[in-house]
Amino acid sequence: MSAFGTVFTPEMIISRFENNNWSTPQVVKSDSITLHPGAHVLHYSSTCFEGLKAFRHADGGIYIFRMDKNVARMAQSSELLSLPKIDQTMLSEMITDIVSRFAADVPNPPGSMYIRPTHIGTEPSIGKAAAPSLQSLMYVLLSPVGDYFAGGAKPLRLLLEDNARCASHMGMVKSGGNYASALQPIMKARAAVQADQVLFCPNGDVQETGAANFLLIDGKEIITKALDASFLHGVTRDSILTLARDRGMTVSERQLTVDELLERAAKPDAEAALSGTAAVLTPVGTLIHDGKEHTVGTGQGGPTTNALRQALNEIQWGQAEDKHGWLTKV
């Protein structure tokens, strides 16, 4: 299988915002867009995106998982970046239109069609360092995918980093700049301790990794940071917490300090996991902090992580009832 996100369908769908209006979405070739070199996005990073998936069910039907949540988050990201206001109904229709055109290319489970809506400021104005772009481009790219983590569901090694991933008021925005600012710590962690990901813990507050949310599981309790502006409000996080509540688990959305994490992770039945559209729910086996390696529980993941991942996949793949109404048929 090719690396995650490197294969694209030959067409995408696009709409432009100009003169206070969104153009009628058009299906175009997906291999290029034309931008003025002075486009706002290239200088002042007026860009946000989403990541969601479409799944093929056994009856051949194609279903998109939690599209409304992702579209709403894209609207919020656009607003917080002062990009033109998006039309959520139009974006939803763009997504279902392009996915239905490429329905035949949606892989069978465990594969899926990764959907990448993107919104960028295109006004050619390098003078607008402190002013928003009044023109923009929104498009939806599709990429058939398999597993995000090359080792499948192999337990991950996370390096705990004392610095923040990005500016504290911008973490909830799914914007390219946040990813770029996390790259140096991630590359250093890979080289120094062969970490798979960095777990950002500014001032000892356990936040998230560069591409997924973090969850600690201690018996019947699941603990994760309460929502605030400093980190991404993962749709998978919300789904897993809902499924945990459905199973009678106690969900604690609150502050988790590094000290508490390391103490509880040392219990023999402790589990930790990363949640995300790409990551699904991937077990964490090792936490590295201050030069010391801490094994989480057995270091091999555990039954609750597996059960929650399976419960999520069964809904996505049409093997369990969609009780919460999370699927949209295209």
DSSP state of 126: T
Of 71-79, 121-129, 184-192, 270-278, the segment contacting ligand COI by CB under 6 A is: 270-278
Site residues (CB under 6 A) for ligand COI, limited to 206-225: 211
Q: Contact with ligand PLP (CB under 6 A): which of 140, 212, 256, 288?
A: 212
Measured from the CB of residue 88, what is the shortest distance to ligand PLP in angstroms? 16
The whole-angstrom distance between residue 278's C-alpha and the CA centroid of its chain comes to 6
Residue 5 φ/ψ region, left for φ over 0, alpha for ψ in the -120 to 50 degree band, beta for the rest? left
Query: By CB under 6 A, how many residues form the interface with ligand COI?
Result: 5
Start-to-end CA span in the chain (Å):
26
Site residues (CB under 6 A) for ligand PLP, limited to 224-243: 232, 234-237
Residue closer to ligand COI (CB basis): 122 or 277: 277
Answer yes or no: are the C-beta atoms of 80 and 73 closer than 8 Å.
Answer: no
Both tokens of 281, joined, read: 């729910």
* 175 scored as a contact of ligand PLP (CB under 6 A): no
Residue closer to ligand PLP (CB basis): 181 or 295: 181
- Residues 6+ away with beta carbon under 8 Å from 261: 206, 216, 272, 287
* 144 scored as a contact of ligand COI (CB under 6 A): no
* 98 scored as a contact of ligand COI (CB under 6 A): no
Q: How far apart are CA 31 and CA 265, in angstroms?
A: 46
Q: Which does 208 bind (CB under 5 to 8 A by kind): ligand COI, ligand PLP, none?
A: ligand PLP
* Site map (CB under 6 A) of ligand COI, residues 35-74, x = contact: ----------------x-----------------------
DSSP state of 61: -
* 316 scored as a contact of ligand PLP (CB under 6 A): no
Query: By CB under 6 A, how many residues form the interface with ligand PLP?
Result: 14
* 196 scored as a contact of ligand PLP (CB under 6 A): no
- Indicate the burial class of 35 (C-beta count within 10 angstroms; 0-12, 13-18, 19 or more): middle
Site residues (CB under 6 A) for ligand COI, limited to 276-295: 276-278
Q: How many Cα neighbours within 13 Å face the side chain of 310?
A: 7
Q: How far apart are CA 39 and CA 133, in angstroms?
A: 9
